[in-house]
């Protein structure tokens, strides 16, 4: 695990211990939540295979009326009892999964940015749900509440 220096967020490259389970060449984590999930995938015997940002989904962003590419945080194959399930996993702080709240005290530019990011996330997730339905996968958004020890 290598960390980048002088960054506001916990970011770096995760080095899996169980390399046979990892799909891809490098696992970049962009938050402490993503690092926690990667450790879970690497150490959990029920996780058969996993990858980081190896599934790319095209999506249309209504705010700029252009197509973009969504790199889903993780692809995971998990043994659940006698079944094998395949998931696309997005990891976000809970706050980013909910519409931003307006307040008189809030900086209007920051609120505008949060609204734009919320709209972007909604467009990404709609495309991911459609992709998953078409490819018989499950799409999950995990937050800090889901990744508690």
DSSP-assigned letter for residue 5: S
Is residue 95 part of the annotated active site? The answer reads: no
| Sheet containing 12-14, strands listed edge to edge, beginning at the edge strand earlier in sequence | 2-3, 12-14, 27-29
Is residue 64 part of the annotated active site? The answer reads: no
Please provide residue 92's backbone torsions phi and psi, each rounded to the nearest 5 degrees.
-140, 150
Phi-psi region of 64 (alpha: psi -120 to 50; beta: other; left: phi over 0): alpha
**Pick the catalytic residue: 21, 42, 53, 73?**
73
**Pick the catalytic residue: 34, 53, 90, 114?**
34
Is residue 73 part of the annotated active site? The answer reads: yes
Cα–Cα dist 25/130, whole Å = 27
**Pick the catalytic residue: 49, 86, 92, 120?**
92
Q: Which residues are catalytic?
A: 34, 73, 92
């Amino acid at each position: 695990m290598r960390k980048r220096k002088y960054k506001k967020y916990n970011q770096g490259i995760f080095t899996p211990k169980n390399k046979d389970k990892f799909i891809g060449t490098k696992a970049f984590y962009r938050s402490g939540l993503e690092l926690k999930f990667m450790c879970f995938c690497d150490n959990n015997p029920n996780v058969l295979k996993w990858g980081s940002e190896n599934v790319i989904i095209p999506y249309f962003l209504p705010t700029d009326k252009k197509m973009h590419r969504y790199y889903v945080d993780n692809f995971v194959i998990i043994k659940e009892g006698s079944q094998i399930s395949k998931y696309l996993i997005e990891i976000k702080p809970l706050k980013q999964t909910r519409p931003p709240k307006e307040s008189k005290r809030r900086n209007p530019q920051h609120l505008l940015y949060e609204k734009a990011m919320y709209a972007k996330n909604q467009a990404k997730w709609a495309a991911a749900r459609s992709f998953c339905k078409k490819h018989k996968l499950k799409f999950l958004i995990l937050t800090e509440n889901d990744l508690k020890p």
